Amino acid sequence: MTDFIKKSEIKNNWVHIDATNAVVGRLASQISKILRGKNKATFTPHMDDGDFVVVTNVSKIKFSGNKFENKRYYRHTGHPGGIKETSPKLLMAKKPEEVLKLAVKRMLPDGPLAKKQLTKLKLYKNDNHPHAAQKLSFFNFATMNKKNTIAN
């Protein structure tokens, strides 16, 4: 019989990730694992056991290949003929946090639990963030694999 974690036993930690020169897809997959709690031995699919993630320097993330120019994001207004499209280049100019947030959101399962887990993601354009009091543990994403960063 499998023992599932109870709500009273959940302990949420705070993780800090520096996104300087990080590849978007690789970073988003790692963030989604932390948000869901899959990096813990107590992972339970129907409980919110994940940690809070603070990502700084989001404006310095990179795309591999030609995705920065050629990738397209689509959304629909809900009206007939209301499909809108944008590229990462345009989105980074306006809201750099939105690029990473969309990537993480699409790696989480659909439903109310994923929406709750996405609220634990805190994104900041530069080094400044108001979460110093939470005793963040630093997650060194760049040293995990040499493909995780692109030096330009």
| pLDDT at residue 152 is higher than 80 | no
Domain boundaries, the chain: 13-145
| Other C-beta atoms lying within 10 Å of the C-beta of residue 18 | 18
| pLDDT at residue 45 is higher than 80 | yes
Query: Residues 116-144: what's their mean pLDDT?
Result: 93
> pLDDT-derived band of residue 7, with 50, 70 and 90 as boundaries?
confident
Q: Kindly report the CA angle at 135 between 12 and 101, in degrees rounded to 5?
A: 60
Rounded distance between C-alpha atoms, residue 102 and residue 19, angstroms: 15
H-helix segments, 58-121: 67-70, 88-94, 96-107, 112-118
- The predicted-structure confidence for 89-113, as pLDDT tens digits, reads as follows 999 999 999 999 999 999 999 999 9
> pLDDT-derived band of residue 31, with 50, 70 and 90 as boundaries?
very high
Rounded distance between C-alpha atoms, residue 121 and residue 19, angstroms: 13
13-145: CATH class: alpha beta
